[in-house]
Structure 1
Amino acid sequence: MNLVIDSGNTSIKLGLFKNGTLEKVFTTNDYNQLARIITGFDIKRSIISSVRKDQDIIKEKILFKVNPLLLSSGLQLPFKNNYETPQTLGPDRIAGVAGAYYLYPGKSSLVIDAGTCITYDFIDKEKNYYGGAISPGISIRFKALNAFTAGLPLVEKEEDISFIGKSSKGSILSGVLNGATAEILGMIGEFKKNDQELNVIMCGGDARFFERRLKETIFVVPDLVLIGLNSILEYNERFL
């Protein structure tokens, strides 16, 4: 069984794969709980991806089971990385692109990860990765309006919003949520100018929220990063 660990900005996700199939997913923020979660599983291989500086902490907690790979741009990848500064490329973005290529080989894909940040990553049908874009996620936008203005309140996401805000809260909800939706639609449109057959794959905590508001055909794959991590782990078996 393969253990893949994605330590993101808000939580740590663990995925357990057997014969290429994701069988179990766990979410935690307790490093000590990592060991307790995996105690009862027969784990042969593992990989850790982290946007925090906690890879060594996680590795220490699971060493009683397996010695994991640590995901970085220096690891062997199942696609060609053309990013000009590969050392600055987030491991979550690497894993998302790997997941897209694994699910849709031979097709170009745009990966949109709608989490703490909204990231856009493009891989073509010849498995060349070029890069993409990064913008603030919904929660960051709400917090910025509250932190950098004198009188605007801190607002949280709501499902039902009006396009025309009739209060400060309503105006913030409209500006942030409708604005982020318009941004995503605009980015998809720009990427599709060069490839009308482009797959659009969305993941991240706000993916379902945007799915209901987008007029484009998209595939929401909540566990895309975990799937990508497992494909990278399997790919690296040939080099060990």
Structure 2
Amino acid sequence: MDLVIDIGNTNIVYGIYDQNRWVHQWRVETDIQQDELYYGMHLRSLFLEYGIKLNAIQYIGLSSVVPPLTEVISGMVAKLLGSDVVVMGPEVYKCIPLHIENIYEIGSDLVANAVAAFTKFQQHCLVVDFGTALTFTTVSDEPAILGVAIAPGLKTAMRALSTSTAKLPDVELELPSSVLGRNTEHALQAGVLIGFTGLVEKMIERTRQELPVACKVVATGGLSSVLTPLHQQFDLIDPHLTLEGIRYLLLQYNAR
């Protein structure tokens, strides 16, 4: 049984992998003000609620794009479970045959996405990750990460509008049927959600134009299911893709 942790700007995702499948996945709101005690109590309660023994975890892998929480969470988990935590980074990347040009700069979540997509398809892939940021990671069949594009995520864009303006509220992420907004909520949904649909379609189109061969397109992230018109653009929608990549990196590192 393995524990995989993905620390993002909005959520911390814990995944329990056992017998060739993800048996549990839990999301906790990311809060950089909290300490080891807070996160430790929460994780311990989850283990207790789902009947998981603390000594049942064999390997632990952690990816983080929130530096203040990397040591907090890794330290908490190591103390709670009494096991070493492998933190994704350059030393781990060296254990896989994936060429990364900016090995000390790229986010570990993007590397995990690239590794998981290539492992699944063994060819050129584009990973679209709908998270706090909307990211596009392209990996070749060499394999190598060819490049990354980053835009604000859906919730980030919506929150920016509601917090930076006096009269625009925070609204639900529901795709409207028309771009002709009949009220403020509808107008925001039309502008952001339908606008983001066009953004993603254009990025997929441009990526395919710039590649020498056809590529698979994979979607992941907590909001990957929101923009339903895009689903026909994807060869795979995998909410566990980042966790899969972290786990693969973890296994390769431990097998070195």
| Pairs within 5 Å for 1:187-198 | 187-193=203-209, 194-195=211-212, 197-198=214-215
More helix by share: 2
Correspondence for 2:105: 88
How many residue pairs end up in the alignment? 237
Please tell me whether residue 122 in structure 1 is matched to residue 121 in structure 2. no
Evaluate the alpha carbon distance shift between residue 223 and residue 113 of structure 1 in structure 2; reply closer, same or farther with a 3 A threshold.
same
Q: For residues 115-144 of structure 1, what are the alpha-carbon distances to aligned partners after superposition, in whole Å with 9 as ceiling and x for unaligned? A: 111000010111111221000111111122
Answer whether contact 1:118 1:137 (CA < 8 A) is retained.
yes
Cα RMSD (Å): 2.1
Please tell me whether residue 220 in structure 1 is matched to residue 220 in structure 2. no
| Pairs within 5 Å for 1:1-240 | 1-18=1-18, 20-29=20-29, 31-32=39-40, 33-38=42-47, 40=53, 42-52=56-66, 53-63=68-78, 64-65=80-81, 66-75=83-92, 76-83=94-101, 85-104=102-121, 106-193=122-209, 194-195=211-212, 197-239=214-256
Where does the alignment leave 5 or more consecutive residues of structure 1 unmatched?
none
1:214 deviates by: 4.5
Evaluate the alpha carbon distance shift between residue 21 and residue 157 of structure 1 in structure 2; reply closer, same or farther with a 3 A threshold.
closer
TM-score w.r.t. the length of structure 2 is 0.83
TM-score w.r.t. the length of structure 1 is 0.88
CA distance in 2, matches of 1:31, 1:177: 33
CA distance in 1, matches of 2:23, 2:159: 36
Evaluate the alpha carbon distance shift between residue 103 and residue 211 of structure 1 in structure 2; reply closer, same or farther with a 3 A threshold.
farther
SS of residue paired to 2:96: coil
Percentage identity across aligned positions?
25
1:184 deviates by: 0.2
Evaluate the alpha carbon distance shift between residue 79 and residue 133 of structure 1 in structure 2; reply closer, same or farther with a 3 A threshold.
farther
1:101 deviates by: 1.7
Evaluate the alpha carbon distance shift between residue 164 and residue 215 of structure 1 in structure 2; reply closer, same or farther with a 3 A threshold.
farther
Answer whether contact 1:211 1:218 (CA < 8 A) is retained.
no
SS of residue paired to 1:28: strand
CA distance in 2, matches of 1:195, 1:182: 23
Q: For residues 146-199 of structure 1, what are the alpha-carbon distances to aligned partners after superposition, in whole Å with 9 as ceiling and x for unaligned? A: 333344333331243422223333222111111100000000011111255211
Answer whether contact 1:34 1:61 (CA < 8 A) is retained.
no
CA distance in 2, matches of 1:150, 1:19: 52
- Structure 1: which amino acid aligns with 2:27? T
